[in-house]
């Protein structure tokens, strides 16, 4: 890249930030770096500019490198991190217009980082980049002392459950004894209420109910954990009966911290990428109008933008669906297509031309950016009209009997079915909800986990391999209560193999 191009990029950076602020976007200083394709590959594969070594990172790097060297594709146009000072990579081999697009795109991301309540949570881990650099050095020392194979195996086990966090991203696991005391106080309050309240409006508990409360009190006094725990790494780090050595606790802590910092990005990927794409179009339009970029560069920009936002029938294109959602919501709220009167209108023609000219669209999309996750957005805005407009149907490949060509055909078009499947996919990005129910099962320090079944069964290979990995961290038998073919089933890994014990139905929990 020539010096003159760097100077022009500095102009683009300065003016695009000013334009973003004129549009009402929040900005802060950003560290833009011009990097090689290898650095871009490393940043993408290793999650951070510098991170600890693991074979999965190396696998991803080699896969993307092979694609890039043989096809010229497979690289992202930009990588940006939600650090205290956001950091973004611009690839030196990109055309100038593409790097200008990337800078405009980054300002959309930065506003999202600063204003989304979920990405603000990610920014709370402000030194995650420094921690990653420090961990890389410590982990190399662990490899030398304890062997690379042992390190790889242990990191494997930790990363297999890194996304099993509490469903509420703002939840902090309380101290176990604090949780125990809180639950005991609640049960005691219920017990005292049965003795003190005598009223015609309150039917007293039966003796059987009182005995049940007393039974729960007795169990709470010794149960670990006293209440459900969803953050598996948090619980295992503190309670593993192995016991874990300091270097192992360090590994678990680092893996957990990185996953917690990145989790908000996973929950808002569609909205985040959609927001950045929505605004880069408007910022670039102004740059062309002001003559900062020329007509030839407009053609290059248009070509790359079209490639990024092209509809994909058998995949979910964040860069297409995300900005389309903001456009759709802005149009509806500008025309007043919301509220009880609109929702209760059964006249399809009247609904189609409904326009109160209320002009609430801009306000609504900024609210959408600040307070929604992808799942929430799908729940509230992926109605039948939006699904139809964007062809969000489920497609499958088939062979055309006339000419033998492979063609796409619609396999599912019911909006409710599609919305239900998308909501499930976007709740935890395919990570099932698992909780720790008992850390001393059978009074032998065995780990009892419960899969909160939501209609989708676990993949058997994934389930069994993960049980083995958890056993690596726990050191005793690991049990998982789940559903297989509609039956409540207990899967157990004892250090040698996985066995299953099937109950009578999927209703209720198995007896602990």
**Coil, helix or strand at residue 113:** helix
Percent of the chain with pLDDT over 90: 58
pTM score: 0.85
Contact 47, 87 (CB under 8 A): no
CA distance 371 to 267: 12
Confidence of residue 249 (pLDDT cuts 50, 70, 90): very high
DSSP 46: S
Q: Nearest 5 degrees, angle CA 373-CA 377-CA 378?
A: 120
CA distance 454 to 425: 11
Phi then psi for residue 486, to 5 deg, are 80, 0
Contact 80, 44 (CB under 8 A): no
Q: What is the pLDDT of residues 89-117, one digit of tens each?
A: 998 988 999 999 999 999 999 999 999 99
Residue 416 has pLDDT above 60, yes or no: yes
User: Would you state the pLDDT for residue 68?
Assistant: 61
Q: Which residue has the higher pLDDT, 407 or 29?
A: 29
User: Would you state the pLDDT for residue 406?
Assistant: 80
CA atoms within 13 A on the CB side of 432: 22
CA distance 108 to 165: 28
Residue in the block written with tokens 């176990």: 176
Contact 397, 408 (CB under 8 A): yes
Sign of the alpha-carbon torsion through 304, 308, 311, 312: positive
* Number of other CB atoms surrounding residue 483 within 10 Å: 19
Contact 210, 417 (CB under 8 A): no
User: Would you state the pLDDT for residue 425?
Assistant: 81
- Rg of the chain, C-alpha, whole Å: 27
Q: 42-46, 352-356, 418-422, 433-437: which has the minimum mean pLDDT?
A: 42-46
Mean pLDDT of the chain: 87
**Coil, helix or strand at residue 474:** helix
Q: Select from 261, 257, 258, 248 the least CA-distant residue to 139.
A: 248
**Coil, helix or strand at residue 105:** helix
Q: What is the pLDDT of residues 162-207, one digit of tens each?
A: 999 988 888 887 787 777 777 766 666 666 665 555 544 455 556 6
Q: Which residue has the higher pLDDT, 346 or 103?
A: 103
Strands 87-91 and 31-35: parallel
Q: What is the pLDDT of residues 207-240, one digit of tens each?
A: 676 676 666 666 766 778 988 899 999 999 999 9
Residue in the block written with tokens 């009223």: 199
User: Would you state the pLDDT for residue 39?
Assistant: 86
The neighbouring-strand residues paired with 483 are: 488
User: Would you state the pLDDT for residue 70?
Assistant: 52
CA distance 508 to 489: 11
Phi then psi for residue 171, to 5 deg, are -80, 135
DSSP 311: -
CA distance 360 to 311: 28
Q: 65-69, 86-90, 199-203, 294-298: which has the minimum mean pLDDT?
A: 199-203
* All residues at 6 or more sequence positions from 158 whose CB lies less than 8 Å from its CB, including other chains: 233, 251, 252, 255, 256, 473
């Amino acid at each position: 890249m020539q010096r003159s191009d760097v100077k022009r990029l500095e102009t683009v950076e300065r003016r695009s930030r000013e334009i973003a602020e004129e549009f009402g976007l929040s900005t802060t200083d950003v560290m833009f770096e011009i990097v090689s394709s290898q650095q871009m590959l490393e940043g993408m594969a290793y999650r951070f500019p510098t991170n600890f070594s693991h074979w999965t990172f190396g696998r991803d790097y080699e896969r993307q490198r092979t694609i890039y060297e043989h096809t010229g594709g497979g690289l992202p146009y930009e990588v940006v991190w939600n650090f205290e000072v956001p950091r973004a990579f611009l690839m030196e081999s990109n055309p100038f217009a593409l790097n200008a697009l990337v800078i405009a795109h980054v300002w959309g991301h930065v506003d999202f980082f600063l204003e989304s309540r979920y990405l603000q949570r990610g920014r709370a881990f402000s030194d995650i980049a420094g921690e990653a650099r420090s961990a890389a050095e410590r982990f190399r020392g662990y490899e030398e002392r304890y062997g690379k194979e042992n390190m790889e195996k242990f990191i494997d086990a930790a990363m297999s459950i890194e996304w099993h966090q509490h469903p509420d991203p703002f939840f902090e696991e309380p101290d176990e004894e604090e949780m125990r005391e809180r639950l005991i106080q609640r049960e005691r309050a219920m017990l005292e209420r049965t003795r003190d309240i005598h009223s015609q409006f309150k039917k007293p508990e039966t003796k059987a109910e009182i005995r049940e409360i007393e039974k729960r009190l007795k169990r709470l006094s010794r149960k670990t954990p006293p209440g459900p725990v969803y953050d598996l790494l948090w619980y295992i780090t503190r309670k593993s009966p192995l016991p874990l050595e300091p270097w192992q606790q360090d590994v678990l802590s680092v893996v957990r911290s990185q996953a917690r910092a990145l989790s908000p990005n996973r929950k808002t990927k569609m909205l985040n990428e959609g927001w950045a794409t929505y605004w880069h179009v408007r910022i670039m339009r102004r740059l062309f109008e002001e003559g900062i970029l020329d007509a030839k560069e407009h053609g290059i920009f248009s070509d790359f933008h079209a490639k990024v936002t092209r509809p994909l029938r058998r995949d979910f294109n964040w860069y297409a669906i995300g900005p389309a959602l903001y456009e759709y919501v802005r149009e509806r709220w500008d025309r007043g297509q919301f509220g009880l009167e609109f929702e209760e209108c059964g006249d399809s023609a009247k609904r189609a031309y409904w326009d109160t000219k209320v002009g609430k669209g801009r306000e609504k999309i900024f609210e959408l950016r600040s307070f929604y996750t992808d799942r929430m957005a799908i729940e509230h805005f992926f109605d039948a009209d939006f699904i139809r407009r964007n062809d969000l149907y489920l497609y499958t490949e088939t062979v055309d009997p006339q000419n033998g060509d492979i063609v796409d055909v619609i396999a599912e078009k019911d909006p409710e079915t599609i919305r239900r499947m998308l909501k499930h996919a976007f709740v935890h990005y395919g990570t099932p909800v698992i909780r720790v129910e008992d850390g001393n099962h059978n009074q032998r320090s065995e780990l009892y986990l419960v899969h909160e079944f939501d209609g989708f069964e676990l993949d058997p290979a994934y389930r069994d391999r993960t049980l083995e990995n958890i056993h690596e961290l726990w050191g005793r038998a690991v049990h998982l209560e789940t559903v297989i073919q509609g039956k409540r089933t207990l899967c157990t890994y004892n250090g040698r193999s996985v066995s299953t014990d099937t109950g009578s139905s999927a209703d209720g929990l198995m007896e602990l």
